Amino acid sequence: MRPRASIRSHLQDALPKIVLAPSFAITIVFVYGFILWTIYLSFTNSKTFPSYAITGARAYQRLWGWTFDTDPPSSWYTSITNMGIFGFLYILICLALGLFLAILLDQKIRGEGMLRPIYLYPMALSFIVTGVAWKWFLDPGLGLEQTLHQWGWSSFHFDWIKNKDFVIYTVVIAGVWQASGFIMAMFLAGLRGIDGEIMKAAQIDGATTFQLYRRIVIPLLRPIFLSAFIVLAHLAIKSYDLVVALTSGGPGGSAWLPSNFMYEYTFKRNEMAVGSASAVIMLMTIVAIIVPYLYSELREKPR
């Protein structure tokens, strides 16, 4: 019986590793392997198919040139400025709105159990569904504008989705609608985790509600801000389907994000090298934002 028990305990020890091994291997190959592969391709002159001879950084030179083509805006310039506008507003509004809703819901109100899923539900939809629904809602000939005209408010005018200068803000609206409920749930969980004793102590010390939130609650929610930021940042950077479903690229390609640029160039225009180069730049941008943030957060932990 003894050797059997030892095999068993060996197995038990090894089990987590065995179970994790496939996903680990898959991640290594399909995430990190292909990141390297993409970087490699960006230095070739790959067109329709990958070509393996390194030919230099021409793809990056072209992207660099396009970065300064502002009038008329090149597709790359449009993509990166849109990324800035969309990323900034999307993350900021989601965080602010999520926190605000969470604080309101945390006031021990009746029917919270019903309200919470209502706010959370949009997150269960795919970006495609969100995009199509908002496309109809914002379409001046079908949705909001048309309805208000029928109700008699004929001077109402809202055509952002058809306007090259404002179309990116409609992407922000749809994105915020989808994600802010989820961010609210994250903050709500954080608020529930705060020790009631601290709050009571502060109140006894005579802190106003505003001071209470400003000085105590929000600083305590710092880890939630980090998680929410990371969730939102990666959603923002990989937003592709939302743009396609909502605007099909916008008038004259004015709603493109870098992910749209990457897909267009790699798969539709057969400029795989340029597509890869743009993907590498996207990755570098994410790394530049996330790594210092993670580093500072993780370093402080042992304190």
Partner 1 sequence: MLRKLLIGTALATSFAFSAHAADVKEVQMLHWWTSGGEAAALNVLKQDLAKEGYAWKDVPVAGGGGDAAMTALKAMVAAGNYPTASQMLGYTVLDYAQAGVMGDLTETAKKEGWDKSVPAALQKFSVYDGKWVAAPVNVHSVNWLWINKAVMDKIGGTEPKTFDEFVALLDKAKAAGVIPLALGGQNWQEATMFDSVVLSTGGPEFYKKAMNDLDDASLKSDTMKKSFDNLAKLVTYVDPNFSGRDWNLATAMVIKGDALVQVMGDWAKGEFHAANKTPGTDFLCYRFPGTDGSVIYNSDMFGMFNVPEDRKAAQIALATATLSKSFQSAFNVVKGSVPARTDVPDTDFDACGKKGIADLKKANEGGTLFGSLAQGYGAPPAVANAYKDVVSKFVHGQIKTSDEAVTELVKAIDDAK
Would you tell me which residues interact with partner 1 (CB under 8 A)?
47-49, 62, 72-73, 75, 139-141, 159, 161-162, 164, 247-254, 264, 267-271
- CB of 221: closest distance to partner 1 in angstroms? 40
- CB of 156: closest distance to partner 1 in angstroms? 14
Amino acid at 279: A
Tokens of 6: 């030892």
- CB of 89: closest distance to partner 1 in angstroms? 21
Which one, 126 or 227, has the nearer CB to partner 1? 126
Question: Quick one: DSSP state of residue 57?
Answer: S
Q: Are 260 and 240 in contact (CB under 8 A)?
A: yes
Dihedral pair phi/psi, residue 16, rounded to 5° = -55, -40
Residues with Cβ < 8 Å from 229, sequence gap 6 or more? Answer: 91, 95, 293
Question: Helices 167-192 and 222-237 meet at what angle, rounded to 10?
Answer: 150
Which one, 27 or 270, has the nearer CB to partner 1? 270
Which one, 180 or 260, has the nearer CB to partner 1? 260
**Would you give the distance in Å from CA 7 to the centre of its chain?**
46
By C-alpha distance, which of 204, 205, 224, 221 is closest to 213? 221
Which one, 73 or 231, has the nearer CB to partner 1? 73
By C-alpha distance, which of 274, 255, 250 is closest to 264? 274
- CB of 114: closest distance to partner 1 in angstroms? 37
Q: How many CB atoms lie within 10 A of CB 163?
A: 15
Longest Cα–Cα distance in the chain: 87
Rg (CA), the chain: 25
Which one, 72 or 196, has the nearer CB to partner 1? 72
Residue-wise DSSP of 147-192: HHHHTT-TT----GGG-TTTHHHHHHHHHHHHHHHHHHHHHHHHHH
- CB of 6: closest distance to partner 1 in angstroms? 24
- CB of 75: closest distance to partner 1 in angstroms? 6
Tokens of 28: 């290594």
Cis? peptide before 72, omega within 30° of 0: yes
- CB of 220: closest distance to partner 1 in angstroms? 45
Which one, 163 or 285, has the nearer CB to partner 1? 163
- CB of 212: closest distance to partner 1 in angstroms? 48
Which one, 49 or 68, has the nearer CB to partner 1? 49
